[in-house]
Amino acid sequence: MTVSSLFLQHVNGSVHKRPTTHRFDHFKTSFSSTLKPFFKELQQLPLKIDVSKTIRDASSRVLDAFVESVFQIVDQPLLPSQKNFGPVEELGEAVIVTSIEGEIPVDFSEGVFIRNGPNPLFGGLKSTESIFGRTSHTWIEGEGMLHAVYFKKAFSGGNWEISYNNKYVDTETLKLEKERNKPSFLPELEGDSLALLASLLLNKLRFGIETKHLTNTNVFEHAGKVYAITDNYLPLEVDISTLETFSVWNVNGTWNRAFTSHPKRDPESGELVIAGIDVKKPYFVVGVISADGTRLTHSVDAKFDKSVLSHELGVTRRYNIIMDYPLTLDINRLIMGGELLEYDKEGNARLGVMPRYGDSHSVQWFKVETSCTLHILNCFEDGDEVVVRGCRALTSILPGPRRGVNKFEWFSKGFKFVNSEKKDANDTTQDDGYLFIHVYEWRLNMANGEVREKKLTDTSFSMDFPFTNGHFTGLKHKYGYTQIIDSMASSTSGMAKYGGLAKLHFEDPNTTFSEEYENCEQPIKVKYHMFEPNNFCSGSVFVSKDEAVEEDDGWIVSFVHNEINEVSQVHIIDARNFTSEAIAKITLPQRVPYGFHGTFVPTPEEH
């Protein structure tokens, strides 16, 4: 059943109604005056016309008039401390970079460092006011924009030619709004329930879909092709050299649903393991794509009993790792006056281990402590155990406060640096720090069904956006990396800012361990690479040396923005001398807003 039909069935019954206000009288007057010229024009049309096309056009114009009369769309203002979350313009073509501090290593890989992130059209995120209530875009929304830095060796002297380009991911919904030259889709994730239902219905009636295809979360490579992706739509192939958007990737028509932002490659076969969520059954489907990207070789309904916003999945040599935590999308809950997306702190959490080509009956489920893990660092097999490592919080940063009320206050309190063990994300009288994130480990024993889980990091820093050497995905590994949340800067701005990087040494204990550590388990050794004050990063990735011997033979590359002089750079950090100053800082020709995930795509070798 579609959102539209659900809405039509329940709008006169169980939805919590809001009292009518004086705005309704204004709406009637405005709507009537908007439609009168249209009906006058309709009466003057020739008799011999395409009736079906006329009806479609008329319906579209009536709906547009209704929306424009009822919904007032306003900008969400940005504080000065939030300036680098604001959008930038497209460059149009690559620009040569001339300012480089330090030296790019001669053995650094030729290729493209590319990152995705939100870049809202028409000046920024929007909110609406209407007779139905209010809605607003959440912080994760905004059309996707790719930012790419190209590393190419000059023909002589071993010097580097560096260039930068940016470009919107050219989705069909972006094209539609560009043609209209105004915000057209109504926000449908955060706000009053009746207003959200109206937005979903009107988006569906006007455009054929309930929500925009933002495609702003990640960018990944498979079988020599590069794709931009977000969790609610299919990947879009992009030309790595020009950033031009090609068509959607539906694996030759065999995959017809959403596609996870974090697919994982089988460490031995090269197959790509994917998943897709939906608000209706089947809620969660796992798929396997051939190594050459041409065939969907396996697809299975995992038989979830609810729609979980499962942002990640993991792989080992033999298994797919499924995350099921109580962050759910529920249309019926919205119809009954609740939230569309909600985290239930009392709900159950579990991890599923599925054989690569298994079905729902072959999944071995492990119940774990209730929490939310949006990002997995890595998974691997260790004897009878499957080990899962990720960034775990006691609540979800998505979508934010209930109905989006007191948004700045909710995020500011959540980012404050305090003990995070006694938090309730919906209690406005609580202590602060409920968004604190630990690096965490689950050991799932496939032989006896037991679970061992523990924090791997202490309360020194909150960490997220983890990554590893990609050659060790699905394999036992010594190291991992995360971005470090600057708790003070994040609390001040009400938006997450990452003031440094962490290198995790999984096989080395923290020798400065204190018995006061909150769960009385020894954390692992962590090294830190901190940026200068008021400098914050995004899109960090590991780039391996071509002739690497050790797992950490390589570099960390990251977009870093200086909020004092408003200069954006790419930093290259030696992973083996992690605490040292960056060995190269590449100053970019324009500001790069904070964003989400990136990757490094090596230049293919010529044969």
- Residue ranges for the binding site? 262, 311, 375, 597
Two structure tokens written together for 467: 């990554």
One-character DSSP codes across 157-210: TT-EEEEEEEEE---HHHHHHHHHTS--SPP-SEE-HHHHHHHHHHHHHHHSSS
Whether cis (ω within 30° of 0) applies to the bond prior to 401 is no
CB burial of residue 511 (10 Å; 0-12, 13-18, 19+): exposed
Cβ(416)–Cβ(462) below 8 Å: no
Number of C-beta neighbours around residue 54 at 10 A = 12
Cβ(395)–Cβ(423) below 8 Å: yes
Contacting residues for 210 by C-beta, under 8 A, at least 6 apart: 3, 4, 188, 200, 203, 204
* Among 561, 555, 570, CA closest to 602: 555
- Total count of residues recorded for the chain: 607
CB burial of residue 516 (10 Å; 0-12, 13-18, 19+): exposed
Phi, psi (5° rounding) for residue 22? -65, -20
Phi, psi (5° rounding) for residue 154? -70, 160
Two structure tokens written together for 588: 């970019």
Q: CA–CA separation, 385 vs 363, rounded Å?
A: 15
* Sign of torsion over alpha carbons 365, 366, 367, 371: negative
* Among 485, 596, 587, CA closest to 531: 485
Task: Report the number of secondary-structure helices (H) and strands (E) in the chain.
Answer: 8, 37
Query: Which residues define the annotated binding site for Fe cation?
Result: 262, 311, 375, 597
Q: What H or E segment, with its residue span, contains residue 598?
A: strand 598-602
Q: CA–CA separation, 495 vs 511, rounded Å?
A: 33
Q: CA–CA separation, 321 vs 355, rounded Å?
A: 9
Q: What CA–CA distances, in Å, run from 424 to 248, 353, 605?
A: 40, 29, 52
Two structure tokens written together for 289: 């794509």
C-alpha atoms less than 13 angstroms from C-alpha of 127 in its C-beta half-sphere? 17
Q: What H or E segment, with its residue span, contains residue 440?
A: strand 437-445
Two structure tokens written together for 260: 């996870």
Q: CA–CA separation, 66 vs 96, rounded Å?
A: 48
Q: What share of the chain is helix, strand, coil (3-state, %, to 5)?
A: 20, 35, 45
Two structure tokens written together for 341: 């997306």
Two structure tokens written together for 208: 């054929």
Cβ(304)–Cβ(283) below 8 Å: yes
